[in-house]
């Protein structure tokens, strides 16, 4: 096979989806820290699922460039966590490098991989080697080296897959944390599995695995759909369509006109006009009127209309009062936050949040989830609190997709505790820059400590950790570990508390009894009589305690 086309890319995407699905739990388990919060496999799978859904909506045997555009859009909108966002940028580079192509020979594909590398690196402010980025860099370089000597894709993709695997094996040498933990980088290995899926496609091998498309149920996490009643759905119909435009040269004018129209009849608008096609997604009560409006500009290629009140599949957790205020009352500033549980979402609402997206470790919200939340807030400037280091990059991509007239600013909170500290500083009398700085100062004034358990034996910073032990973490640093949960928590607090600290806030997670919390509080008050100790019910999964010192 000397050329690849849209049919090949569709099969390769399906193989990649199944390959990642088959190894999802393995990738999730490849965590530097032996704690139950790995989600890289799930994040990559979510991006590929959305890409596959977009490709499925195209006509059979669509051209390569259209397939790649669908993958580009799908991986971006389905992106969760850093790995999902970086993967979306890799496919963006491929799509842009192979724009308007129907068939591609090896030299063209190699050049597009270099484009993918460049776009992926540019998406990360401080690129870290020993990650997914290292794999795309090595593979792109190898592809260019081979492009002058190999002519068939069977050999070419076999070489690239082998290069990806060898690079994955080298990641512990580039990141000391990986070396000490005895693991390779999860995102890097996930990208290897994608290249391996492409190799299998080239040699005619199909990956055997059933990928479920319904949401995976979590034992200790309330599904987001259960948080919102049918009455909370503002518009009934999720309307998606693809329109082939009449003629070219008026794309920008059409996009502005259609966007202004859609803003008058719906929300959750995603609109793309490029390469002679218009693609849109909108929630509205009048899908027929949307279709009539779009028909002015061309002919319909695809139409999909779902009644959301019947499906009832919302992601965003919204209190009725907060929803009503956000929908009807224009605000100078809006606040969107990510919470790992209903109880913590309630805390955020009480502190002034307009929308709370259910998410966190093992359940990172997608870019589309965050965008829907931002679009639902009637404010000129929206402050986004990701509350997890793996969600920050996804949140920052929102700046490129914000609706006209809306500004999205990311306060880079890495924990629930930092978010609470930041929100207590909220002051609408401040201007935008002053308020952003106030939020950052509130965030930085908090020292975050979390308590979980080890899911495997490992060694970190010279400390031997035994599977099943309780672990207390501060900024990705293990401060204490052992068999007694409250003792581990107490010892960790004792290590990190400083003279300037005045308050300790303990957020109780699932599975922790009131009696255990009371014993911990008594110990802390006895040891630190000058500190105020507060407790909150968080019911968060995976972490027995989330503790803030201020």
pLDDT in tens, 162-174: 999 999 999 988 9
pLDDT band at 496; cut points 50, 70, 90: very high
pLDDT in tens, 366-419: 888 888 888 888 788 899 999 998 888 888 887 666 666 678 899 999 999 999
Average pLDDT, the chain: 83
Lowest-confidence pick of 36-50, 113-127, 211-225, 373-387: 211-225
pLDDT of residue 3: 93
Lowest-confidence pick of 221-225, 248-252, 456-460: 221-225
| Domain 234-311 and domain 316-444 have a common topology | no
Q: Compute and round to an integer the Cα radius of gyration of the chain.
A: 24
Question: 397: phi > 0 → left, psi -120 to 50 → alpha, else beta; which?
Answer: alpha
Assigned CATH for 447-549: 3.30.1180.10
> Average pLDDT, stretch 49-74?
90
pLDDT band at 227; cut points 50, 70, 90: very low
Is residue 230 pLDDT above 50, yes or no?
A: no
Q: Which residues have a Cβ under 8 Å from the Cβ of 286 and sit 6 or more positions away?
A: 237, 265
Q: What distance in Å separates the CA atoms of residue 47 and residue 44, rounded to the nearest whole number?
A: 5
Q: What distance in Å separates the CA atoms of residue 54 and residue 418, rounded to the nearest whole number?
A: 37
The answer to whether the CB of 452 falls within 8 A of the CB of 542 is yes
Is residue 534 pLDDT above 60, yes or no?
A: yes
Report percent pLDDT > 70 for the chain: 86
pLDDT of residue 179: 80
Lowest-confidence pick of 92-106, 246-260, 408-422, 471-485: 246-260
Q: Which two tokens stand for residue 183?
A: 């693991």
pLDDT of residue 374: 86
Q: Which two tokens stand for residue 155?
A: 């050999």
At how many degrees (to 10) do helices 106-122 and 132-146 cross?
Answer: 150
Query: Which string of b and e fits 228-244 if b means at least 16 CB within 10 Å?
Result: beeebbebbbbbbbbbe
pLDDT of residue 456: 81
Tokens 């099969």, located at residue: 11
pTM: 0.61
Element (H or E) spanning 72, and its range?
helix 64-77
pLDDT of residue 137: 95
Check residues 226 and 58 and name the one with the higher pLDDT. 58
pLDDT of residue 318: 40
Q: What distance in Å separates the CA atoms of residue 526 and residue 400, rounded to the nearest whole number?
A: 51
CB count within 10 Å of CB 64 equals 23
> Average pLDDT, stretch 48-64?
89
Long-range interactions of 142-148: CB distance < 8 A, separation 24+: 143/106, 143/109, 143/110, 143/113, 143/114, 144/110, 144/111, 144/113, 144/114, 146/106, 146/110, 147/106, 147/107, 147/109, 147/110, 147/111, 148/107
- Superfamily grouping for domain 4-202: DhaL domain (1.25.40.340)
Q: What distance in Å separates the CA atoms of residue 384 and residue 454, rounded to the nearest whole number?
A: 31
Bridge partners, residue 284, by sequence = 237, 266
pLDDT of residue 484: 93
CATH entry, 316-444, from 3.30.1230.10, 3.30.70.1340, 3.40.50.510, 3.30.230.10: 3.40.50.510
The answer to whether the CB of 457 falls within 8 A of the CB of 442 is no
pLDDT of residue 37: 53
The residue extents of the domains of the chain are: 4-202, 234-311, 316-444, 447-549
Is residue 261 pLDDT above 60, yes or no?
A: yes
Element (H or E) spanning 90, and its range?
helix 81-97
pLDDT band at 258; cut points 50, 70, 90: confident
The answer to whether the CB of 451 falls within 8 A of the CB of 485 is yes
CATH entry, 234-311, from 3.40.1000.10, 3.30.70.1150, 3.40.50.300, 3.50.50.60: 3.30.70.1150
Lowest-confidence pick of 121-125, 191-195, 405-409, 465-469: 121-125
Please provide the DSSP assignment of 290-314 as one string: HHHHHTTSEEEEEEEEEEHHHH---
pLDDT band at 313; cut points 50, 70, 90: very low
Question: 143: phi > 0 → left, psi -120 to 50 → alpha, else beta; which?
Answer: alpha
Q: What distance in Å separates the CA atoms of residue 352 and residue 346, rounded to the nearest whole number?
A: 10
Q: Which two tokens stand for residue 3?
A: 């050329």
């Amino acid at each position: 096979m000397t050329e690849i086309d849209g049919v090949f890319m569709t099969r390769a995407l399906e193989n990649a989806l199944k390959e990642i699905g088959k190894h999802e739990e393995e990738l999730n388990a490849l965590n530097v820290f032996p704690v139950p919060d790995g989600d890289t496999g799930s994040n990559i799978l979510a991006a590929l699922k959305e890409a596959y859904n977009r490709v499925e909506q195209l006509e059979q045997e669509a051209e390569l460039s259209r397939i790649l555009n669908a993958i580009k859009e799908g991986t971006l909108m389905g992106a969760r966590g850093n790995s999902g966002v970086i993967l979306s940028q890799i496919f963006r580079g491929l799509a842009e490098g192979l724009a308007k192509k129907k068939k591609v020979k090896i030299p063209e594909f190699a050049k597009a991989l270099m484009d993918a590398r460049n776009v992926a690196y540019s998406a990360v402010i401080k690129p870290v080697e020993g990650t997914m980025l290292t794999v795309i860099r090595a593979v792109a370089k190898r592809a260019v080296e081979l492009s002058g000597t190999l002519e068939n894709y069977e050999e070419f993709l076999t070489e690239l897959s082998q290069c990806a695997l060898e690079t994955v094996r080298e990641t512990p040498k580039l990141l000391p944390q990986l070396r000490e933990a005895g693991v390779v980088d999860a995102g890097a290995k996930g990208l290897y599995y994608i290249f391996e899926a492409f190799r299998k496609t080239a040699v005619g091998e199909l990956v055997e695995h059933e990928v479920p498309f319904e949401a995976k149920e979590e034992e200790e996490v309330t599904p987001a759909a259960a948080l919102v009643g049918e009455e909370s759905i503002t518009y009934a119909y999720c309307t998606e369509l693809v329109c082939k435009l009449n003629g070219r040269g008026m794309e920008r004018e059409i996009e502005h006109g259609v966007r202004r129209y859609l803003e008058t009849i719906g929300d959750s608008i995603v609109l793309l006009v490029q390469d002679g096609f218009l693609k849109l997604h909108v929630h509205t009560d009048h899908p027929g009127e949307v279709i009539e409006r779009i028909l002015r500009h061309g002919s319909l290629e695809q139409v999909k209309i779902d009644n959301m009140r019947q499906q009832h599949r919302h992601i965003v957790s919204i209190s009725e009062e907060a929803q009503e205020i956000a929908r009807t009352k224009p605000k100078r500033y809006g606040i969107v936050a990510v919470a790992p549980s209903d109880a913590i979402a309630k805390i955020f609402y009480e502190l002034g949040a307009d929308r709370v997206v259910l998410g966190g470790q093992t359940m990172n919200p997608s870019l589309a989830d965050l965008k829907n939340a931002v679009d639902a807030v009637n404010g000129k400037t929206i402050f986004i609190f990701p509350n997890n280091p793996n969600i920050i990059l996804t949140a920052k991509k929102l700046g490129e997709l914000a609706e006209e007239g809306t500004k999205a600013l990311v306060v880079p909170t890495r924990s629930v505790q930092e978010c609470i500290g930041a929100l207590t500083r909220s002051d609408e009398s401040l201007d935008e820059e002053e308020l952003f700085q106030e939020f950052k100062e509130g965030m930085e004034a908090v020292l975050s400590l979390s308590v979980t358990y080890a899911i495997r034996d490992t060694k970190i910073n010279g400390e031997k950790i035994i599977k099943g032990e309780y672990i207390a973490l501060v900024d990705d640093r293990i401060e204490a570990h052992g068999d007694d949960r409250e003792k581990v928590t107490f010892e960790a607090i004792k290590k990190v508390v400083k003279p300037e600290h005045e308050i300790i806030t303990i957020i109780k997670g699932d599975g922790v009894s009131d009696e255990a919390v009371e014993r911990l509080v008594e110990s802390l008050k006895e040891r630190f009589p000058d500190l105020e100790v507060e407790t909150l019910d968080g019911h968060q999964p995976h972490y027995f305690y989330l503790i803030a010192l201020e």
